[in-house]
Amino acid sequence: MESVVRQYPEFSYISISYWHDEEIIEKLTMYKKDVDMWLFSGQIPYGFAKKWGGIVQPMFYVPSSGSSLFKTLLQIAYNQKIPFEQISFDMFHPDELERVFKESNIAVKPPYLKYYEGEVPTDEIVNYHYELWKNGKTLAAVTCLKNAQHELRKLGVPAFRVLPTQSAIVSTLALILQTHETMHFKDTQIAVQMIEFDSFSSLTKDTFSTDEIYKIEIKMTEKLLEYTKKINGSLKAAGPGRFVIFTTHGLLREMTRDFTIIPDFEILQLRGQDAVTSGIGIGKTVYEAEINAGTALLHAKEFHKGASMVILDDKTIIGPLGRPEQITYGYAPKHLQILSEQTSLSIATLSKLESILRKIGKIEINAHDLAQHMSIMPRSARRILTELESKGFAQVIGEENPHPRGRPRKIYQIILKQDL
């Protein structure tokens, strides 16, 4: 892959290697602020990164195609003389593997194949091949994972790796360039930030007067003009305590570090932690961006004063910015629409719940943790979980008691995707 990437002067790259699955997230965390795009050598590290959800940049992986497998089969047949029916394979879809054999005029149907999608522990792949070899069912293994090949050879198993072809790498690099151009276009999209300021939050009984409120409004306007200048935008007042800023997607994305922090924290928190609520909207037109910003502001208010939310042009919702409970969710996936019709829960609530489960990497949660992630009261979280339980989309699988004298907390297993 490096030898191919070096042929493209438009790319500068960092080469990152790992030997154990648990290193993947550690390496991604180490370099995530230094890259614009991620290119993975295969779908397993890509799957781990996607499941983790900590990467905001576009991610790609080079697929292992039938032509790359054909090269490996040719090497085995010519150099090793190993019968194909005594070889174990992994990753390839059964139909694809059968097609490669058929096109190669190999009159054998491969009997041993571990097909997988997404992230699979390397140990699971190694054990699959090793057990077959140890029990005398196979004489060799063909794997798409470098680390699996390395471990199998340490165990004495003749292991061959399917390497991506140069054409597959070139095609993926072309897709990366195309994505970069698309992102550059997106950076020029209109962005609108609506800011609502509570003038009364910093007043005391001794200073409560219309003159003081007016002074606060003037000072806030001055500060927002400074902030607007930083993002090359324009500011307009939209009523008492509410302001609208017009700028571009790219500038706001940079200011918020890919929509993870509150833009210019000092200005937006000018009068205390709970004073400023913000909604950011991205759109193809000014009207669309302004509508999205207003909707994002309403979502921010659902959390609490001081929250900032974002709605992108594809209706993806991100937020609250700068908080550990930040999640990303979207509107109306089909399975959530159907689930919403069968329960008393809104699509937005179900979408948030699905995003939280994806973020924590498991489908078990209690009401206390759900309340923290959603910024709602524990009784509201319990209502959500009991509603799902009553309709068969959740079940209690245990209890935990973090405090000896407290009430045990029920642990629920959530099943949002079913044959509805």
* Chain segment 295-319, per-residue pLDDT in tens: 999 888 887 777 889 998 878 888 8
Burial string for 276-295 (b: 16+ CB within 10 Å, else e) reads: bbbbbbbbeeeebbbebbbb
Q: What is the fold, at CATH topology level, of the domain defined by 66-163?
A: Rossmann fold (3.40.50)
* Chain segment 396-416, per-residue pLDDT in tens: 998 887 666 667 889 999 988
Model confidence band, residue 274 (pLDDT cutoffs 50, 70, 90): very low
The CATH number corresponding to 188-323 among 3.30.70.270, 3.40.50.2300, 1.10.3470.10, 3.40.640.10 equals 3.30.70.270
Domain limits, the chain:
2-63+167-184, 66-163, 188-323, 333-414
Quick check: 88 pLDDT over 80? yes
* Chain segment 349-363, per-residue pLDDT in tens: 888 888 888 878 889
- pTM exceeds 0.75 for this model: no
Q: What is the CA radius of gyration of the chain?
A: 27
Tell me the C-alpha distance between 118 and 52, whole Å: 12
- CATH code of domain 333-414: 1.10.10.10
Tell me the C-alpha distance between 49 and 46, whole Å: 5
